[in-house]
Structure 1
Amino acid sequence: MSPRLCTLLVDDEPLARSLVRELLADFPDLTITGECPNGTEALAALQTGAYDVVFLDVQMPDLDGVQVLQRLQAAGQPLPLVVFVTAYDQYAVAAFALHAVDYLLKPLDPDRFAECVRRVQQQATQHQTLTLGADLAALLRAWPAPPSTAISPPTKEYQDRFVVKQPERQFFVPAAEVCYLEATGSGVLLHTARAAHAVRVSLGQLAERLDPAYFLRIHRSFVINTAHIVEFKSWAHGEYLFRMANGQHVSSSRSYNAAIQQFLKRFA
């Protein structure tokens, strides 16, 4: 039996909330226990911790949907299962795809909505909220912060996506989705959960552009995304073997042990 999930609807358009409400009528285990017309009210509602799921509009006039989640995260609040509802074009939708349970593109399609609800139910049943929270945290770190009146020193901007060029098309691969980077004879392979994408640039050049808070060079041929480490163990001659979220194993070399030890000290 599916768990009962307290659900919050957030959208500044009453008609949009009404349509989500009608579509959810076919899924009684998602019980609507709150509705908010703007980001400010949504933030207050989610701070209560009373909601398991939120259907969250991205574009709103006061706080947008991502800013709501940023403020929850900054306050140390647990993040619910999130479904983004957006009228953004395909490039923006792609940026959300792996950082929430799902996204819905306006105007809402009933069949696509039903597929989305199945994903929500599966996440809830498998108790994957913690994994979701980690993925959302990666998105929130990459999202532009709300404007501030305080004057702060300039900070270095790190590369948050890669452009993959193919004969028929070009597309973005978000850095947060890359499990590890592997040097090849002709460039670098970006290994994600589903595929490996080739880019024509040296690993050394990419390593300098990536945020060292998440990307760690462990070998002259490998840079790993530490957010995707599943487990690791000491290997031969002081080396380490890392198992990544895509199921692949990546080994380090001794010349990078100092950097690896510095990374591991964060968790000592």
Structure 2
Amino acid sequence: MNTGPIRTLLVDDEVLARLALRQALAAHADFEIVGECGNAAEAMQAVAALAPDLLFLDIRMPGLDGFRLLHQLRPDTLPMVVFATAYGQHALRAFDANALDYVLKPLDQARFDQALARVRRHWRGLHARTPAGISPATGGPVQRLSVRVGEHIRVIAVETIDWIEADGNYVHIHVGKQAYLHRETLRGLLAALDPGRFLRIHRGTLVNVERIREIHPLFQGNAEVVLHDGTRLNLSRRFRLHARRALGMA
């Protein structure tokens, strides 16, 4: 599989820090530096203009810090992220922000290379035939999803999922009282999940039909789906006919 170089944007207010990143990346021909930014405002413009695949991102910068920068970016434009910072106390928060890795300055080349290896693995997953985080199908729909939770990977049996909500290039997977943020599109999940189990009831919502308890008709052809735990979801008119057939409604 040849996907081209991983287009990389460096975001750090210190010129010497950006130089160190350039030097550390020099030995890796599959990474292409497409730009450098000294603050979050420049980075927001660069992400919009350059559409990088990867950000090397400092945390403490003038104006918006690295975390607030990520919050400002639209989910559909968010690249892969590796934090490169002198402050070790933010590691857990970084993984909560779905960063792939967190390296400390001054950079250690061996540790830096480990971070790039993690980026490569994630990059290959994004460009595999099956969507990222989805177990390869063996003649049928997938039975498990692998979701990053902090520094760990949570394996979720699909039959335990209640419903799934789209959020740009991400989805929120609802399992009981837990909701897991996963970097995958709703369209990608639709292609991998069992259509006999998961029903699309809205442009941004999939629901496990085994979790549906009631359907409440509303005005103008819309309806409300009530799950076994009392969760209420909108069934839009656009998907109501398909839902009626899938649920055996008269």
Common fold: TM-score over 0.5: yes
Deviating more after overlay: 60-69 vs 14-23 = 60-69
Q: 2:118 & 2:7 partners in 1: Cα distance?
A: 16
Residue 75 (structure 2) pairs with residue 95 (structure 1) = no
Q: 1:193 & 1:71 partners in 2: Cα distance?
A: 27
Indicate the SS of the match to 2:4. Answer: coil
1:177 to 149, 153, 159: 149
Matched residue, 2:63: 62
Indicate the SS of the match to 2:8. Answer: strand
**1 or 2, which has the higher strand percentage?**
2
Q: Which runs of 5+ in 1 are unaligned?
A: 133-175, 179-190, 195-213, 236-240, 243-250
Deviating more after overlay: 97-106 vs 222-231 = 222-231
Do the aligned partners of residues 53 and 263 (structure 1) sit closer, same or farther apart at CA in structure 2, a change above 3 Å counting?
Answer: same
Matched residue, 2:125: 126
Q: Which runs of 5+ in 2 are unaligned?
A: 134-147, 156-171, 199-206, 215-224, 240-250
Aligned length: 178
Matched residue, 1:34: 35
Q: 1:234 & 1:226 partners in 2: Cα distance?
A: 19
**8 Å CA contact retained: 1:2, 1:29:** no
How far the C-alpha of 1:2 sits from its partner, in A, is 6.2
Indicate the SS of the match to 1:126. Answer: helix
How far the C-alpha of 1:253 sits from its partner, in A, is 8.9
- Mapping for residues 1-268 of structure 1, pairs under 5 Å: 3-73=4-74, 77-90=76-89, 92-97=90-95, 99-127=98-126, 177=149, 193=154, 222-225=176-179, 227=181, 258-259=226-227, 262-263=232-233, 265=235
How far the C-alpha of 1:101 sits from its partner, in A, is 2.0
Q: Which amino acid aligns with 2:91?
A: V
Q: Which amino acid aligns with 1:48?
A: A
> Sequence identity, in percent?
34
Indicate the SS of the match to 2:52. Answer: coil
In the superposition, the TM-score normalised over structure 1's length comes to: 0.53
In the superposition, the TM-score normalised over structure 2's length comes to: 0.56
Q: 1:131 & 1:265 partners in 2: Cα distance?
A: 28
